[in-house]
Amino acid sequence: MQVKSRVHSGVLYVLLCGELDEHSASYTRITLDEIFDKPKFSKIVIDLSELSFMDSTGIGVLIGRYKRMKDRRIPIYITNPSAHAEKIFKLTGLYDIMPKIV
């Protein structure tokens, strides 16, 4: 798993590259928290175009980040999910808390 990020016009863009499963969850969780802890944005967009695999462990990681950002009132959006990721998001209702944007 590789996590890339950049801030543009007050929006934090995060690109997840690789596979998000139990093995990579801990690293992904810690890395995202380090990036999210910086107070220089008011919105987060997580780009999944480079995410080649994800299971429900990934949903747990994303929900955990949502709960942390909810306290700071910073919304998180999902963009470019694969058909596979989309299937899991719809099944788990993740889009209810992290809406998809184009």
Partner 1 sequence: MKYSNFMEVTFKALSVNEGFARVCVASFCVQLNPSVDEITDIKTAVSEAVTNCVVHGYPNSVKGDVILRCELEDNVVTVTVSDKGVGIKDIEKAREPFYTSKPSAERSGMGFTVMESFMDEVQVTSNSFGTSVRMTKKISVASNALVG
d(CA 90, CA 35): 26
Helix, strand, coil percentages, rounded to 5, for the chain? 45, 30, 25
d(CA 17, CA 50): 5
- Does residue 64 belong to the site contacting partner 1 (CB under 8 A)? yes
Span interacting with partner 1, options 6-14, 39-47, 70-78, 82-90, rule CB under 8 A: 82-90
Span interacting with partner 1, options 5-13, 14-22, 36-44, 70-78, rule CB under 8 A: 14-22
Q: Is 20 exposed, middle or buried (0-12, 13-18, 19+ CB in 10 A)?
A: buried
d(CA 18, CA 1): 5
Q: How far is the CB of 8 from partner 1 (least distance, A)?
A: 28
- Does residue 63 belong to the site contacting partner 1 (CB under 8 A)? yes
Interface residue with partner 1, options 17, 31, 43, 60 (CB under 8 A): 60
- Does residue 19 belong to the site contacting partner 1 (CB under 8 A)? yes
- Does residue 1 belong to the site contacting partner 1 (CB under 8 A)? no
